[in-house]
Amino acid sequence: MKIDPRSYDPGLALAGSGPGLVLVPGIAGSDRLFFRQAPELARHYRVATYSLRDSATSMAELVADLSAVVDAASPGDRRAFIVGESFGGALALSFAIAHPEQVRGLVILNSFPYFLPQLRLHLAIAGIRLLPWGSMPLVRRLTAFRLHSRHTHAAEIERFLDLTRNLSREGYLGRLRILMRYDVREQLARIVAPTLLLAAELDHLVPSPQQARYMGERIPGATVRILEGHGHICLIARDLSLAAILADWRRAQPGA
């Protein structure tokens, strides 16, 4: 399955030159999460950003879309570094299992191989179905203090909230339902790409350090790094550089 332009506009954007690198967004589905990281990464990589398909009802659909994005980012060898955040990390893990030939390296941030407790997903779905959608920006603003990093400037949080204001209820609910059927715990050993597992120390949404260590014990050769002082939404923090983290990790790889 490939991206069907008649039913889905991924908002694909490409910048920079070098090895292909795809930034996979989280539950909101928006590429705008990466506004701080993408420009710096584009100095070293051919960076692809895109939005998730809101109408997707299965992880397989999203995996197929990601395969097409990798093709666009790396038309020569059809391989790229895949960087997934939260829900995007779950998608990136699924992609690495389904299409190992397209993964040059795998970076998973604040994610999981299976979401626990499942009750939270049921409650989230029920809450979002009942919530007047126009009040969602206010809800996100009121909960921001639990999600962002300790040193994230208020201006960055404000910009993030503004850029991701137009969330789709359909996409949000669809991705929550996909997580209810998502479980790759028994398949982690099949991941063959070099893998970096990043976990925010102060993540109040996902027990990221625990999940990263769990995955690190099962993915061959994986590296685990804890991001001290950071919360779940850490990519907008001024003191976090994905480009620098990736450079350190790649230098440490055998044969680098």
Per-residue pLDDT, 155: 82
Q: Which two tokens stand for residue 223?
A: 């590296």
Per-residue pLDDT, 38: 96
Tell me the per-residue pLDDT of 116-150, one tens digit each, with 9 for 90 and over. Answer: 888 889 998 998 888 887 777 676 766 766 777 77
Domains and CATH numbers, the chain: 13-251 (3.40.50.1820)
Tokens 């190992």 map to which residue? Answer: 100
Q: Which two tokens stand for residue 234?
A: 């850490």
How far is residue 34's CA from residue 70's CA, in Å, rounded to a whole number?
17
Per-residue pLDDT at 2 exceeds 50: no
Q: Which two tokens stand for residue 68?
A: 């097409």
Determine the residue type at 73. A
How would you classify residue 68: left for phi > 0, otherwise alpha for psi between -120 and 50, otherwise beta? Answer: alpha
Round the CA-based radius of gyration of the chain to a whole number and report it.
17
Per-residue pLDDT, 148: 73
Tell me the per-residue pLDDT of 36-93, one tens digit each, with 9 for 90 and over. Answer: 999 999 999 999 999 999 999 999 999 999 999 999 999 999 999 999 999 999 999 9
Tell me the per-residue pLDDT of 80-113, one tens digit each, with 9 for 90 and over. Answer: 999 999 999 999 999 999 999 999 999 999 999 9
CB atoms within 10 A of CB 107: 26
How far is residue 22's CA from residue 218's CA, in Å, rounded to a whole number?
24
The sign of the dihedral angle between the CA atoms of 137, 143, 146, 152 is positive
Per-residue pLDDT, 8: 64
Given a contact cutoff of 8 angstroms between Cβ atoms, the answer to whether 105 and 81 are in contact is yes
Q: How confident is the model at residue 193 (pLDDT cuts 50, 70, 90)?
A: very high
Q: pTM for the full model?
A: 0.92
Q: What percent of the chain has pLDDT over 90?
A: 68
Per-residue pLDDT, 1: 40
- Work out the mean pLDDT of the chain and round it to a whole number: 90
Per-residue pLDDT, 113: 98
Closest C-alpha among 149, 122, 109 to residue 245: 109
Q: What percent of the chain has pLDDT over 70?
A: 93
Distances (CA, A) of 168 to 165, 175, 178, 247: 9, 11, 15, 35
Distances (CA, A) of 160 to 113, 140, 150, 234: 27, 11, 15, 11
Given a contact cutoff of 8 angstroms between Cβ atoms, the answer to whether 118 and 131 are in contact is no
The sign of the dihedral angle between the CA atoms of 71, 72, 73, 77 is positive
